[in-house]
DNA sequence: AAGTGGTCTAGACCACCGC
DNA sequence: CGGTGGTCTAGACCACTTC
């Protein structure tokens, strides 16, 4: 809690939880200045954090108000499967299907800006939530990012990448519906020909270096994707 | 272009397009102050807009840099079907299947915080892109928001809502994979039993009033959903 | 050590809302 | 009209990266 605006934001979060209902007005920015003994910019920075979190909204000329309940934090974050499952209240586990060092498949080479002769580390895993198969995950990492032999499947992949100086910061995802192949149906323990949600992800560092290509196939009956969007014409 | 920070942002956007490559450094904030004759806060506001757009990124202690190409504008916006198709480069059209005034179905009543006896306006449309069926859309609006009789299907629904004082600002969406029913398969002109992408949306005004419940079923072979996500532990 | 972005102050005026 | 959030100035110091 080093910065003042974080303290102010925390204090506002508390008073919302303690005594305010959705659409109640917050104290005005000038009042908050006096209450916390800070400048207006610090108050506004604190409020902007809460706006980003979806906890409050501004109405020009009128005030700042508490947002509707449960609109919070639906903004999708870049998470590992493990983090995602925990946040959904399930216990994640995993079964490794395959680890290999291969030449980059075309789709991977294109996405990661490699040549097809470049080597990548391939990891295929069956992912489970509360001991039920829920997803098939296939990850490709350039060997220049992480060598196949130095991979430790017992530990968090993103943590290993971070320690190797390739902290994942941002990703682009494509979500689509597919029909499962027979073998994938068997692995996920659903009827052959079932629909599934396919998420393809290309991850990069803060500086924009391409780190990871991943494709995850989720059981349609056990996984949905939620997000909040705004109009924001500007 | 009323505000100074917008002018500064526009100027930076131009110089990126004209002469900068991904990962090139921008002029420093203090240089930008001098160049544009504005204060540091205005420069930082301009840069923060560009960061939100994904065009540049900051590195504390080092500089502000041009982001990787084509990472732009993948942040999903709340759009109408028409806007969405145009931004994807297709020509949208539409065939109305049904318009009715009905009692709110359970799922709709729950989502919009109505009682099952409240009336809603129901609109079912087949949506086409370049004359090919691409989605089935079902929209429910409380009659207190828009009366069935005053609906004009020739005009933009969101525009009508805005004029009625119910400007849509925010929505929560749930995306999942489903298997099409026989009748929906026929309407979308795909094989019976095909997979499809189902998007359920609950829209609200800036002030948090619930306005619309919509469910759109997209052909899996013609529609994918793309979005950028960040890690942002903070 | 020099330069960068990150935080913060103490003011000011403008644009908008509600009475 | 008074009060609100939105923009803006001209400074200051801190935290971090780079050399």
Chain A hits for B199, Cβ within 8 Å: none
Identify the pLDDT of residue A69: 63
Interchain pair B171, A228: CB under 8 A: yes
Q: Domain map of chain A by residue range?
A: 4-66, 81-219
**Measured CA A3 to C1' C1 distance, in angstroms:** 26
| Separation of alpha carbons B60 and A118, rounded Å | 33
∠ Cα B136 B174 A48 (to 5°): 125
Interchain pair B197, A174: CB under 8 A: no
Strand C nucleotides, any atom under 7 Å to a protein CB = 3-12, 15-18
Strand partners, B159: none
Identify the pLDDT of residue B69: 63
**Measured CA A37 to C1' C10 distance, in angstroms:** 12
Q: Is the CB of residue B42 inside 7 Å of nucleic acid strand D? A: yes
Interface test with A, best of B51, B162, B220, B229 (most A CBs within 10 A): B229
Nucleic chain D: which protein residues 107-166 of B have CB below 7 A from it?
none
pTM strictly above 0.85:
no
Identify the pLDDT of residue A73: 52
Identify the pLDDT of residue A74: 62
Return the biggest CA–CA distance within chain A. Answer: 66
Letter string b/e over residues A110-137, b meaning 16 or more CB atoms within 10 A of that residue's CB? ebbebeeeeebbbbbbbbbbeeebbbbb
Interchain pair A173, B227: CB under 8 A: yes
The pLDDT tens digits along chain B (234 residues) read 679 999 999 999 999 999 999 889 999 999 999 999 999 999 999 999 998 888 999 999 999 999 876 554 566 778 889 988 998 899 999 999 999 999 999 999 999 989 999 999 999 999 999 999 999 999 999 998 888 888 888 888 888 888 787 888 878 899 999 999 999 999 999 999 999 999 999 988 876 778 999 999 999 999 999 887 877 643
Question: Contact A92/A109 with Cβ under 8 angstroms?
Answer: no
Interchain pair B65, A193: CB under 8 A: no
Identify the pLDDT of residue B233: 41
Interchain pair A228, B196: CB under 8 A: no
Identify the pLDDT of residue B234: 36
Contacts of B57 by beta carbon, 8 Å cutoff, 6+ apart:
A206, A207, A208, B51, B64, B65, B67
B51: nearest nucleotide, CA–C1' criterion: C5
Chain B residue with CA closest to A200: the answer is B226
Q: Which residue has the tokens 């610090």?
A: A42
Q: Give the minimum alpha-carbon distance from B129 to chain A in angstroms, rounded to a whole number.
A: 18
Contacts of B14 by beta carbon, 8 Å cutoff, 6+ apart:
none
pLDDT in tens, B95-119: 999 999 999 999 999 999 899 999 9
B45: nearest nucleotide, CA–C1' criterion: D7
Chain A residue with CA closest to B196: the answer is A177
Q: If chain A, 234 residues long, is cut into consecutive pieces of 10 residues, what is the mean pLDDT of each piece?
A: 90 93 92 95 95 88 84 68 90 95 96 94 96 97 88 84 82 94 97 96 82 96 88 53
∠ Cα A121 A127 A131 (to 5°): 150
Question: Contact A50/A12 with Cβ under 8 angstroms?
Answer: yes
Point out the residue among A23, A59, A195 whose CB comes nearest to the CB of B177: A195
Identify the pLDDT of residue B36: 96
Q: Which of the listed CATH numbers 3.40.50.300, 1.10.10.10, 3.40.50.970, 3.20.20.70 matches domain A4-66?
A: 1.10.10.10
Interchain pair A206, B59: CB under 8 A: yes
DSSP sequence for A80-107: -HHHHHHHTT--EEEEEEEEEEEEPPHH
pLDDT in tens, A166-192: 888 888 899 999 999 999 999 999 999
Chain A hits for B225, Cβ within 8 Å: 174-176
Interchain pair B196, A177: CB under 8 A: yes
The sign of the dihedral angle between the CA atoms of A11, A13, A16, A18 is negative
Identify the pLDDT of residue A75: 66
Tokens of B185: 């398969």
What is the phi-psi region of residue A61: left when phi exceeds 0, alpha when psi lies from -120 to 50, beta otherwise? Answer: left
What homologous superfamily is domain A81-219 in, according to CATH? Chorismate lyase-like (3.40.1410.10)
Closest CA to D17 C1' — which residue? Answer: B61
Identify the pLDDT of residue B110: 93
Tokens of A21: 């209902």
From the list A233, A234, A229, the residue with the least C-alpha distance to A71 is A229
Task: Please give, one letter per residue, the 3-state secondary structure of B96-137.
Answer: EEEEEEEECCHHHHHHHCCCCCCEEEEEEEEEEECCEEEEEE
| Separation of alpha carbons B80 and B90, rounded Å | 14
Q: Give the minimum alpha-carbon distance from A184 to chain B in angstroms, rounded to a whole number.
A: 15
Point out the residue among A41, A68, A170 whose CB comes nearest to the CB of B230: A170
| Separation of alpha carbons B110 and B220, rounded Å | 28
Identify the pLDDT of residue A234: 37
């Amino acid at each position: 809690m080093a910065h003042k605006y974080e303290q102010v934001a925390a204090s506002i979060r508390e008073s919302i939880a303690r005594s305010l209902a959705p659409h109640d007005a917050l104290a005005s920015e000038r009042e908050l200045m006096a209450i916390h003994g800070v400048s207006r910019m610090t108050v506004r920075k604190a409020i902007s954090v809460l706006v980003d979190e979806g906890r409050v909204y501004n109405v020009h000329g009128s005030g700042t108000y508490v947002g509707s309940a449960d609109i919070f934090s639906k903004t999708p974050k870049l998470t590992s499967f493990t983090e995602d499952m925990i946040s959904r209240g399930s216990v994640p586990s995993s079964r490794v299907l395959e680890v290999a060092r291969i030449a980059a498949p075309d789709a991977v080479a294109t996405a990661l800006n490699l040549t097809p002769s470049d080597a990548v580390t391939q990891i295929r895993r069956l992912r489970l939530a509360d001991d039920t198969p829920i997803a098939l995950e296939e990850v490709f990492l350039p060997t220049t990012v992480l060598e196949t032999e130095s991979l430790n499947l017992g530990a968090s992949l993103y943590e290993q990448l971070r320690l190797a100086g390739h902290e994942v910061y941002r990703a682009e995802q494509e979500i689509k519906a597919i029909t499962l192949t027979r073998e994938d149906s068997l692995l996920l323990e659903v009827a052959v020909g079932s629909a599934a949600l396919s998420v393809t992800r290309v991850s990069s560092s803060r500086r924009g270096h391409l780190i990871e290509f991943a494709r995850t196939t989720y059981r349609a009956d056990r996984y949905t994707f939620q997000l909040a969007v705004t109009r924001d014409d500007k």
